Amino acid sequence: MQRFPDGFRWGAATAAYQIEGAWDADGKGASIWDVFAHTPGRILGGDRGDVACDHYQRYRDDVALMAELGLDAYRFSVAWPRVVPDGSGAPNRAGLDFYSRLVDALLERGIAPFLTLYHWDLPQALQARGGWGSRDIAGWFGDYAALLGRTLGDRVKHWITFNEPFAFIVLGHVFGMHAPGLRDPALAFQASHHVNLAHGEAVRALRAAVPDAAIGITQVSMPCYPASDDPADRDAARRYDGFVNRWYWEPPLLGRYPQDILDRLGALAPAIAPGDLERLSPPLDFFGHNSYTRAVVRHDPEAALVAAKPIDTGNPATAMGWEIHPEHLYDALTRITRDYGAPAIYITENGAAFEDRVTDGAVDDPERTSYLRAHLLACQRAIADGVALRGYFCWSLLDNFEWSFGYAKRFGLIHVDFATQRRIVKASGRFFAACARANGVAG
């Protein structure tokens, strides 16, 4: 048994739109994902998040399952339009009360809440006012953060401003695969700057409202490796890394944008006002790291802007088609420590989708168990080599609405029958529970 340091957090993660349901209940406003999922042709199978896992009604049962798994932390997100239906202005007391009850239920079970302010469900009312393309959104987001800090900060001490800006900017504003379904690269890069400004406003608002808060941001990492030793492939891997990782990591952590990417963007580069770089980079307490796979990249002059393209390695992959390569996690953790000086790191998401089957009321999922074991051992190696890794949150607690894939992809430690809402802890969930209780993993 390879032990983790004392105080290491064992948790699972979810996102509001993916599990809560109750999409229009108790005064909640519409989100961009409500609108997107209700648009024919956007989601596989015509699925919607209207009910999802019905967590809004069943949260106490789900918290009991977390306790059964031995978790001591839970990362969840707040649906901005549930607590501020129009995105700015009057709050919705019923929405705030829901999250207050959830936090109390977690604390009653000894589970620390890790609250994410934004996991992609922007109020549709703000999208109508320009969304992330509007510079005003930084102030709206700061006000939202202050509201939650005042409401929950007496009990919530761990705060995450954003989940994966790369994903919701690129998939939502460049490729149109996610809400709000836009295809406008110039808008996307400007929006990414406004996200960074909003992050800065939120950090300052939370510092004022919750003086003892630990605050971070969650970024997705896709370590980039050249497909060969050819200098052209090496340069391609660096470019790809610049657009996928460094463009999003460097502003909040280092207070700058990577110059090589700015130069390559040219007219697509965002407008940056004097003082912006200071505004968007207040000190953080931790870096949240979402990690699933890597990219092996070759030079491709036909690939727009990046001139780089990932290749298929032919190695085993998850149901998402993502290569299983646990070493990428070690490489990412040591790089974040070496190059960015992160004071502490939490793995805020890591997990895998596979084709689960219910047999005699049970779900045996050895592929997921193997995936988790290998990645936890990679975490062990990183800690041994000096990484200040403070916790691991498995994605996900529950099978859920997996964005444009609807209910077709299952990541959960707990199986959900979406027709009946029956929950079944998978074999991988039992494995993870054993790790959490032992604070270690068998090598």
- Catalytic positions are 164, 349
| Beta carbons within 10 angstroms of residue 164's beta carbon | 22
User: And the tokens for 200?
Assistant: 């800065």
| Beta carbons within 10 angstroms of residue 211's beta carbon | 9
CA distance 34 to 30: 6
State the DSSP code for 323: B
Q: How far does CA 278 lie from the centroid of its chain? A: 25
DSSP 258-283: -HHHHHHHGGGSPP--TTHHHHT---
β-strand 158-163 against 214-221: which pairing, if any? Answer: parallel
Dihedral pair phi/psi, residue 224, rounded to 5°: -115, 125
CA distances 272 to 116, 152, 193, 197, Å, are 26, 33, 8, 10
β-strand 358-359 against 362-363: which pairing, if any? Answer: antiparallel
**423 by DSSP, 3-state: which?**
strand
Residue type, 354: F
In terms of DSSP H, where are the helices of 109-136? 124-127
**422 by DSSP, 3-state: which?**
strand
Dihedral pair phi/psi, residue 93, rounded to 5°: -60, -35
Q: Which of 189, 201, 104 is nearest to 162 (CA)?
A: 201
241-279 burial, b at 16+ Cβ within 10 Å, e below that, comes to: bbbbbbbbbbbbbebebbeebbebbeeebbebeeebbeb
